[in-house]
Structure 1
Amino acid sequence: MTAENGRPRDARIDVAVLDAAAALLPEVGYADLTVAAIADRAGTSRPAVYRRWPSKAHLVHEAVFRDADTSIVASTGRLDEDLRNIVARTAALLTSPLARVAVPGLIGEAASDPSLNQRLLDRFAGRGWSGLDAYLSEATARGHLKPGFDAGVLLELVIGSALAAILVRGPDGLTAAWVDNTAAILLDGVRMPTGG
Protein backbone atom coordinates (compact mmCIF):
# COMPACT_ATOMS: atom_id res chain seq x y z
CA MET A 1 0.00 0.00 0.00
CA THR A 2 1.44 3.39 -0.95
CA ALA A 3 0.49 6.69 0.64
CA GLU A 4 -0.57 9.58 -1.58
CA ASN A 5 2.85 11.25 -1.35
CA GLY A 6 4.53 8.09 -2.64
CA ARG A 7 5.86 6.71 0.62
CA PRO A 8 4.88 3.17 1.46
CA ARG A 9 2.38 2.95 4.29
CA ASP A 10 3.63 1.42 7.47
CA ALA A 11 1.66 -1.81 7.95
CA ARG A 12 2.58 -1.75 11.65
CA ILE A 13 0.30 1.27 12.07
CA ASP A 14 -2.59 -0.65 10.51
CA VAL A 15 -2.09 -3.51 12.95
CA ALA A 16 -1.66 -1.17 15.93
CA VAL A 17 -4.86 0.71 15.05
CA LEU A 18 -6.88 -2.48 14.58
CA ASP A 19 -5.53 -3.88 17.84
CA ALA A 20 -6.32 -0.62 19.65
CA ALA A 21 -9.88 -0.58 18.31
CA ALA A 22 -10.38 -4.22 19.33
CA ALA A 23 -9.06 -3.49 22.83
CA LEU A 24 -11.07 -0.30 23.38
CA LEU A 25 -14.38 -1.53 21.98
CA PRO A 26 -15.28 -3.78 24.95
CA GLU A 27 -13.98 -1.18 27.41
CA VAL A 28 -16.06 1.79 26.22
CA GLY A 29 -18.70 0.34 23.87
CA TYR A 30 -19.38 1.23 20.28
CA ALA A 31 -21.19 4.52 20.89
CA ASP A 32 -18.42 5.96 23.08
CA LEU A 33 -15.53 4.69 20.98
CA THR A 34 -13.72 7.55 19.22
CA VAL A 35 -11.10 7.65 16.51
CA ALA A 36 -9.07 9.97 18.76
CA ALA A 37 -9.00 7.35 21.54
CA ILE A 38 -8.08 4.61 19.06
CA ALA A 39 -5.27 6.72 17.59
CA ASP A 40 -3.98 7.56 21.06
CA ARG A 41 -3.99 3.90 22.14
CA ALA A 42 -2.27 2.91 18.88
CA GLY A 43 0.39 5.59 19.27
CA THR A 44 -0.51 7.35 16.05
CA SER A 45 -2.56 10.32 14.87
CA ARG A 46 -6.19 10.74 13.81
CA PRO A 47 -5.14 11.73 10.27
CA ALA A 48 -3.13 8.49 10.01
CA VAL A 49 -6.25 6.55 10.99
CA TYR A 50 -8.49 8.43 8.55
CA ARG A 51 -6.02 7.82 5.72
CA ARG A 52 -6.69 4.12 6.20
CA TRP A 53 -10.40 4.05 7.10
CA PRO A 54 -13.02 6.64 6.11
CA SER A 55 -14.96 6.34 9.38
CA LYS A 56 -15.03 4.77 12.80
CA ALA A 57 -17.56 2.23 11.52
CA HIS A 58 -15.28 1.06 8.70
CA LEU A 59 -12.42 0.69 11.16
CA VAL A 60 -14.54 -1.19 13.70
CA HIS A 61 -15.87 -3.50 10.98
CA GLU A 62 -12.35 -4.47 10.02
CA ALA A 63 -11.16 -4.78 13.63
CA VAL A 64 -14.07 -7.02 14.62
CA PHE A 65 -14.10 -9.28 11.58
CA ARG A 66 -10.47 -9.24 10.41
CA ASP A 67 -9.87 -12.85 11.46
CA ALA A 68 -13.39 -14.10 10.76
CA ASP A 69 -13.58 -17.30 8.76
CA THR A 70 -16.73 -17.29 6.66
CA SER A 71 -15.71 -20.13 4.41
CA ILE A 72 -18.11 -22.99 3.99
CA VAL A 73 -17.36 -25.99 6.15
CA ALA A 74 -16.52 -29.18 4.30
CA SER A 75 -19.64 -31.13 3.48
CA THR A 76 -20.52 -34.03 5.72
CA GLY A 77 -22.76 -35.41 2.98
CA ARG A 78 -25.79 -34.86 5.22
CA LEU A 79 -27.80 -31.76 4.43
CA ASP A 80 -29.20 -31.46 7.97
CA GLU A 81 -25.72 -31.48 9.54
CA ASP A 82 -24.27 -29.16 6.92
CA LEU A 83 -27.07 -26.61 7.30
CA ARG A 84 -26.75 -26.78 11.07
CA ASN A 85 -23.00 -26.13 10.73
CA ILE A 86 -23.65 -23.05 8.56
CA VAL A 87 -26.19 -21.69 11.08
CA ALA A 88 -23.84 -22.43 14.00
CA ARG A 89 -20.87 -20.71 12.34
CA THR A 90 -22.98 -17.66 11.53
CA ALA A 91 -24.22 -17.46 15.12
CA ALA A 92 -20.67 -17.81 16.44
CA LEU A 93 -19.40 -15.09 14.11
CA LEU A 94 -22.12 -12.63 15.13
CA THR A 95 -21.86 -13.34 18.86
CA SER A 96 -18.10 -13.23 19.34
CA PRO A 97 -17.15 -10.89 22.20
CA LEU A 98 -16.26 -8.03 19.83
CA ALA A 99 -19.23 -8.59 17.52
CA ARG A 100 -21.60 -8.43 20.51
CA VAL A 101 -20.47 -4.88 21.15
CA ALA A 102 -20.10 -3.74 17.54
CA VAL A 103 -22.85 -5.34 15.44
CA PRO A 104 -25.79 -3.19 16.65
CA GLY A 105 -23.81 0.01 15.97
CA LEU A 106 -22.54 -1.24 12.62
CA ILE A 107 -26.05 -2.15 11.48
CA GLY A 108 -27.31 1.28 12.50
CA GLU A 109 -24.52 3.06 10.63
CA ALA A 110 -24.79 0.82 7.57
CA ALA A 111 -28.34 2.08 7.05
CA SER A 112 -26.99 5.54 6.19
CA ASP A 113 -23.55 4.64 4.81
CA PRO A 114 -23.72 2.83 1.45
CA SER A 115 -20.01 1.96 1.41
CA LEU A 116 -20.17 0.41 4.90
CA ASN A 117 -23.34 -1.42 3.93
CA GLN A 118 -21.53 -2.87 0.90
CA ARG A 119 -18.57 -3.96 3.02
CA LEU A 120 -20.91 -5.77 5.41
CA LEU A 121 -22.71 -7.43 2.49
CA ASP A 122 -19.39 -8.47 0.98
CA ARG A 123 -18.27 -9.87 4.32
CA PHE A 124 -21.35 -11.95 4.96
CA ALA A 125 -22.68 -12.76 1.51
CA GLY A 126 -19.75 -12.20 -0.80
CA ARG A 127 -16.39 -13.78 -1.24
CA GLY A 128 -16.29 -15.64 2.05
CA TRP A 129 -19.44 -17.64 1.37
CA SER A 130 -18.69 -18.23 -2.29
CA GLY A 131 -18.57 -21.99 -1.74
CA LEU A 132 -22.24 -22.07 -0.83
CA ASP A 133 -23.42 -22.02 -4.46
CA ALA A 134 -21.30 -25.04 -5.35
CA TYR A 135 -22.33 -26.85 -2.20
CA LEU A 136 -26.04 -26.30 -2.89
CA SER A 137 -25.60 -27.37 -6.52
CA GLU A 138 -24.06 -30.63 -5.33
CA ALA A 139 -26.84 -31.14 -2.78
CA THR A 140 -29.44 -30.54 -5.50
CA ALA A 141 -27.70 -33.01 -7.82
CA ARG A 142 -27.80 -35.62 -5.04
CA GLY A 143 -31.55 -35.02 -4.75
CA HIS A 144 -31.39 -33.42 -1.30
CA LEU A 145 -32.56 -29.93 -2.29
CA LYS A 146 -35.44 -28.57 -4.27
CA PRO A 147 -34.18 -27.66 -7.77
CA GLY A 148 -33.50 -24.01 -8.48
CA PHE A 149 -33.01 -22.97 -4.88
CA ASP A 150 -31.07 -19.71 -4.58
CA ALA A 151 -27.99 -19.89 -2.33
CA GLY A 152 -28.17 -16.15 -1.73
CA VAL A 153 -31.69 -16.40 -0.34
CA LEU A 154 -30.66 -19.23 1.98
CA LEU A 155 -27.72 -17.20 3.23
CA GLU A 156 -29.96 -14.16 3.78
CA LEU A 157 -32.30 -16.33 5.83
CA VAL A 158 -29.45 -17.67 7.96
CA ILE A 159 -27.92 -14.25 8.59
CA GLY A 160 -31.28 -12.51 8.95
CA SER A 161 -32.47 -15.08 11.47
CA ALA A 162 -29.31 -14.64 13.53
CA LEU A 163 -29.54 -10.84 13.46
CA ALA A 164 -33.23 -10.89 14.36
CA ALA A 165 -32.54 -13.27 17.24
CA ILE A 166 -29.75 -11.01 18.51
CA LEU A 167 -32.14 -8.04 18.49
CA VAL A 168 -34.98 -9.95 20.17
CA ARG A 169 -33.11 -12.32 22.49
CA GLY A 170 -29.71 -10.68 22.84
CA PRO A 171 -26.47 -12.40 21.85
CA ASP A 172 -26.90 -15.02 24.58
CA GLY A 173 -30.12 -16.13 22.92
CA LEU A 174 -28.27 -17.82 20.06
CA THR A 175 -27.93 -21.08 21.98
CA ALA A 176 -27.36 -24.57 20.63
CA ALA A 177 -31.15 -25.07 20.83
CA TRP A 178 -31.69 -21.92 18.75
CA VAL A 179 -29.19 -23.19 16.18
CA ASP A 180 -30.91 -26.60 16.03
CA ASN A 181 -34.41 -25.09 15.71
CA THR A 182 -33.37 -22.54 13.09
CA ALA A 183 -31.53 -25.14 11.02
CA ALA A 184 -34.54 -27.49 11.20
CA ILE A 185 -36.94 -24.78 10.03
CA LEU A 186 -34.64 -23.78 7.17
CA LEU A 187 -34.11 -27.43 6.24
CA ASP A 188 -37.86 -27.94 5.88
CA GLY A 189 -37.95 -25.06 3.44
CA VAL A 190 -35.16 -26.28 1.15
CA ARG A 191 -35.17 -30.06 1.42
CA MET A 192 -36.59 -32.18 -1.35
CA PRO A 193 -39.74 -33.87 -0.04
CA THR A 194 -39.45 -37.62 0.37
CA GLY A 195 -42.14 -40.17 -0.29
CA GLY A 196 -45.51 -39.40 -1.75
Structure 2
Amino acid sequence: MTGRPRDARIDDAVLTAAAELLAEVGYADLTVAAIADRAGTSRPAVYRRWPSKAHLVHEATFRDAATAGAPRTGSFADDLHELVRRTAELLTTPLARIAVPGLIAEAATDPVIHRRLLERFSAGGWRGLDDTLAAAVESGELDGGVDTLVMLEMVIGAALAATLTRGPDGLTPEWVGTTARILLNGVRPAGAGTAG
Protein backbone atom coordinates (compact mmCIF):
# COMPACT_ATOMS: atom_id res chain seq x y z
CA MET A 1 0.00 0.00 0.00
CA THR A 2 1.40 3.35 -1.00
CA GLY A 3 1.23 6.48 1.12
CA ARG A 4 -0.59 9.67 0.32
CA PRO A 5 0.59 11.47 -2.81
CA ARG A 6 2.85 14.47 -2.29
CA ASP A 7 1.09 17.77 -1.92
CA ALA A 8 2.25 19.92 -4.85
CA ARG A 9 1.38 23.07 -2.88
CA ILE A 10 3.96 22.17 -0.23
CA ASP A 11 6.55 21.40 -2.92
CA ASP A 12 5.92 24.78 -4.53
CA ALA A 13 5.99 26.66 -1.22
CA VAL A 14 9.27 25.00 -0.19
CA LEU A 15 10.97 25.65 -3.53
CA THR A 16 9.82 29.26 -3.49
CA ALA A 17 11.01 29.72 0.09
CA ALA A 18 14.37 28.12 -0.72
CA ALA A 19 14.88 30.44 -3.69
CA GLU A 20 13.93 33.53 -1.68
CA LEU A 21 16.14 32.66 1.28
CA LEU A 22 19.05 31.66 -0.94
CA ALA A 23 18.94 35.12 -2.48
CA GLU A 24 18.68 36.74 0.96
CA VAL A 25 21.29 34.86 3.01
CA GLY A 26 23.45 32.90 0.55
CA TYR A 27 24.19 29.20 0.34
CA ALA A 28 26.36 28.81 3.45
CA ASP A 29 23.85 30.44 5.82
CA LEU A 30 20.77 28.79 4.31
CA THR A 31 19.14 26.19 6.58
CA VAL A 32 16.38 23.68 6.02
CA ALA A 33 14.73 24.91 9.23
CA ALA A 34 14.51 28.45 7.86
CA ILE A 35 13.15 27.18 4.56
CA ALA A 36 10.51 25.09 6.33
CA ASP A 37 9.48 28.06 8.49
CA ARG A 38 9.21 30.36 5.47
CA ALA A 39 7.18 27.74 3.58
CA GLY A 40 4.84 27.15 6.52
CA THR A 41 5.71 23.49 6.85
CA SER A 42 7.97 21.24 8.96
CA ARG A 43 11.54 20.06 8.54
CA PRO A 44 10.41 16.41 8.30
CA ALA A 45 8.06 17.40 5.46
CA VAL A 46 10.98 19.00 3.63
CA TYR A 47 13.31 16.04 4.22
CA ARG A 48 10.66 13.63 2.95
CA ARG A 49 10.93 15.44 -0.37
CA TRP A 50 14.63 16.34 -0.52
CA PRO A 51 17.35 14.40 1.34
CA SER A 52 19.57 17.44 1.92
CA LYS A 53 19.85 21.17 1.54
CA ALA A 54 21.95 20.67 -1.60
CA HIS A 55 19.23 18.64 -3.31
CA LEU A 56 16.64 21.27 -2.44
CA VAL A 57 18.84 24.15 -3.59
CA HIS A 58 19.60 22.32 -6.83
CA GLU A 59 15.92 21.96 -7.63
CA ALA A 60 15.04 25.49 -6.53
CA THR A 61 17.88 27.02 -8.55
CA PHE A 62 17.19 25.15 -11.77
CA ARG A 63 13.45 24.88 -11.35
CA ASP A 64 12.66 26.66 -14.60
CA ALA A 65 15.95 25.77 -16.29
CA ALA A 66 16.45 26.16 -19.99
CA THR A 67 17.58 22.55 -20.46
CA ALA A 68 14.08 21.32 -21.28
CA GLY A 69 15.18 20.53 -24.83
CA ALA A 70 18.07 20.95 -27.20
CA PRO A 71 17.97 23.83 -29.67
CA ARG A 72 16.85 22.83 -33.18
CA THR A 73 17.04 25.72 -35.64
CA GLY A 74 17.91 23.76 -38.77
CA SER A 75 21.50 25.05 -38.73
CA PHE A 76 24.10 23.37 -36.53
CA ALA A 77 26.07 26.62 -36.21
CA ASP A 78 22.96 28.34 -34.89
CA ASP A 79 22.11 25.36 -32.65
CA LEU A 80 25.59 25.45 -31.12
CA HIS A 81 25.39 29.22 -30.60
CA GLU A 82 22.04 28.75 -28.86
CA LEU A 83 23.42 25.92 -26.70
CA VAL A 84 26.29 28.16 -25.54
CA ARG A 85 23.88 31.04 -24.94
CA ARG A 86 21.46 28.93 -22.89
CA THR A 87 24.28 27.41 -20.85
CA ALA A 88 25.68 30.85 -20.07
CA GLU A 89 22.19 32.02 -19.13
CA LEU A 90 21.62 28.97 -16.92
CA LEU A 91 24.85 29.48 -14.97
CA THR A 92 24.53 33.23 -14.52
CA THR A 93 21.00 33.65 -13.17
CA PRO A 94 20.99 35.43 -9.81
CA LEU A 95 20.27 32.14 -8.01
CA ALA A 96 22.87 30.14 -9.94
CA ARG A 97 25.54 32.72 -9.10
CA ILE A 98 24.86 32.05 -5.43
CA ALA A 99 24.14 28.33 -5.57
CA VAL A 100 26.59 26.81 -8.04
CA PRO A 101 29.79 27.22 -5.97
CA GLY A 102 28.08 25.62 -2.96
CA LEU A 103 26.57 22.84 -5.07
CA ILE A 104 29.94 22.03 -6.65
CA ALA A 105 31.50 21.85 -3.18
CA GLU A 106 28.69 19.58 -1.93
CA ALA A 107 29.01 17.35 -5.00
CA ALA A 108 32.58 16.53 -4.01
CA THR A 109 31.31 14.59 -0.96
CA ASP A 110 27.73 13.70 -1.88
CA PRO A 111 27.55 11.17 -4.74
CA VAL A 112 23.80 11.63 -5.15
CA ILE A 113 23.95 15.40 -5.66
CA HIS A 114 27.01 14.84 -7.84
CA ARG A 115 24.92 12.54 -10.05
CA ARG A 116 22.03 15.06 -10.13
CA LEU A 117 24.38 17.84 -11.27
CA LEU A 118 25.85 15.56 -13.92
CA GLU A 119 22.34 14.74 -15.13
CA ARG A 120 21.45 18.43 -15.24
CA PHE A 121 24.54 19.31 -17.26
CA SER A 122 24.68 16.23 -19.45
CA ALA A 123 23.21 15.13 -22.72
CA GLY A 124 20.31 13.71 -20.71
CA GLY A 125 19.62 17.16 -19.32
CA TRP A 126 19.43 18.53 -22.85
CA ARG A 127 16.80 16.18 -24.19
CA GLY A 128 17.10 15.80 -27.94
CA LEU A 129 20.72 16.95 -28.21
CA ASP A 130 21.84 13.56 -29.53
CA ASP A 131 19.23 13.90 -32.27
CA THR A 132 20.40 17.44 -33.05
CA LEU A 133 23.98 16.23 -33.43
CA ALA A 134 22.91 13.22 -35.49
CA ALA A 135 21.03 15.52 -37.86
CA ALA A 136 24.12 17.76 -38.15
CA VAL A 137 26.28 14.73 -38.97
CA GLU A 138 23.72 13.61 -41.56
CA SER A 139 23.72 17.06 -43.20
CA GLY A 140 27.51 17.20 -43.24
CA GLU A 141 27.72 20.11 -40.79
CA LEU A 142 29.38 18.05 -38.03
CA ASP A 143 32.09 15.43 -37.91
CA GLY A 144 30.66 12.02 -37.03
CA GLY A 145 33.33 11.49 -34.37
CA VAL A 146 32.08 14.28 -32.11
CA ASP A 147 30.94 12.95 -28.74
CA THR A 148 27.86 14.68 -27.31
CA LEU A 149 29.09 14.58 -23.72
CA VAL A 150 32.53 15.92 -24.60
CA MET A 151 30.97 18.79 -26.54
CA LEU A 152 28.73 19.60 -23.57
CA GLU A 153 31.72 19.45 -21.22
CA MET A 154 33.46 22.00 -23.43
CA VAL A 155 30.44 24.31 -23.47
CA ILE A 156 29.81 24.03 -19.71
CA GLY A 157 33.50 24.13 -18.84
CA ALA A 158 33.97 27.30 -20.86
CA ALA A 159 30.98 28.93 -19.16
CA LEU A 160 32.12 27.95 -15.66
CA ALA A 161 35.68 29.09 -16.31
CA ALA A 162 34.44 32.38 -17.74
CA THR A 163 32.30 33.06 -14.67
CA LEU A 164 35.46 32.62 -12.56
CA THR A 165 37.77 34.72 -14.73
CA ARG A 166 35.33 37.35 -16.02
CA GLY A 167 32.56 37.25 -13.44
CA PRO A 168 28.99 36.30 -14.33
CA ASP A 169 28.47 39.60 -16.14
CA GLY A 170 31.33 38.72 -18.48
CA LEU A 171 29.33 36.09 -20.35
CA THR A 172 28.13 38.69 -22.82
CA PRO A 173 26.60 38.09 -26.26
CA GLU A 174 30.10 38.72 -27.66
CA TRP A 175 31.52 35.99 -25.39
CA VAL A 176 28.77 33.62 -26.49
CA GLY A 177 29.45 34.32 -30.16
CA THR A 178 33.22 33.95 -29.84
CA THR A 179 32.94 30.75 -27.79
CA ALA A 180 30.44 29.18 -30.18
CA ARG A 181 32.63 30.11 -33.15
CA ILE A 182 35.75 28.54 -31.58
CA LEU A 183 33.81 25.39 -30.67
CA LEU A 184 32.48 25.18 -34.22
CA ASN A 185 35.67 25.98 -36.14
CA GLY A 186 38.54 25.43 -33.70
CA VAL A 187 41.37 27.92 -33.46
CA ARG A 188 43.02 27.37 -36.83
CA PRO A 189 42.59 29.84 -39.67
CA ALA A 190 39.90 28.87 -42.16
CA GLY A 191 41.30 26.38 -44.68
CA ALA A 192 44.32 25.42 -42.55
CA GLY A 193 45.41 21.81 -42.93
CA THR A 194 45.80 19.35 -40.11
CA ALA A 195 49.13 18.58 -38.52
CA GLY A 196 50.73 15.27 -39.51
Alignment match, 2:183: 186
User: Quick one: which of 95, 102, 105 aligns to 2:102?
Assistant: 105
Root-mean-square deviation (Å)? 1.9
Distance in 2 of aligned mates of 1:183 and 1:147:
18
Alignment match, 2:64: 67
When normalised by structure 1's length, the TM-score is 0.89
When normalised by structure 2's length, the TM-score is 0.89
CA deviations over 1:50-73 (Å, ceiling 9, x no partner): 111111000000011111121112
Distance in 1 of aligned mates of 2:89 and 2:24:
21
What does residue range 41-190 of structure 1 map to in structure 2 within 5 Å? Answer: 41-70=38-67, 71-77=69-75, 79-189=76-186
**Structure 1 gap segments, 5+ residues each:** none
CA deviations over 1:1-33 (Å, ceiling 9, x no partner): x6xxx3333221111110100111111111111
What displacement does 1:126 show? 4.2
Q: 2:123–2:130: 8 Å Cα contact kept in structure 1?
A: no
User: Quick one: which of 11, 20, 24 aligns to 1:27?
Assistant: 24
Distance in 1 of aligned mates of 2:143 and 2:123:
23
Distance in 1 of aligned mates of 2:130 and 2:35:
39
CA deviations over 1:144-184 (Å, ceiling 9, x no partner): 11222111110111011111111222211111111111111
Cα 1:113–1:96 change in 2 (3 A) is: same
**Structure 2 gap segments, 5+ residues each:** none
What displacement does 1:100 show? 1.2
Distance in 1 of aligned mates of 2:126 and 2:72:
12
Distance in 2 of aligned mates of 1:37 and 1:168:
33
Determine what percentage of the aligned residue pairs are the same residue.
68
What displacement does 1:120 show? 0.8
Alignment length (residue pairs): 189
Letter in structure 2 aligned against 1:66? R
Q: Where does structure 1 differ by over 6 angstroms across 4 or more consecutive aligned residues?
A: 193-196
Cα 1:9–1:80 change in 2 (3 A) is: closer
What displacement does 1:195 show? 9.2
Greater shift in the superposed pair: 84-93 or 8-17: 8-17
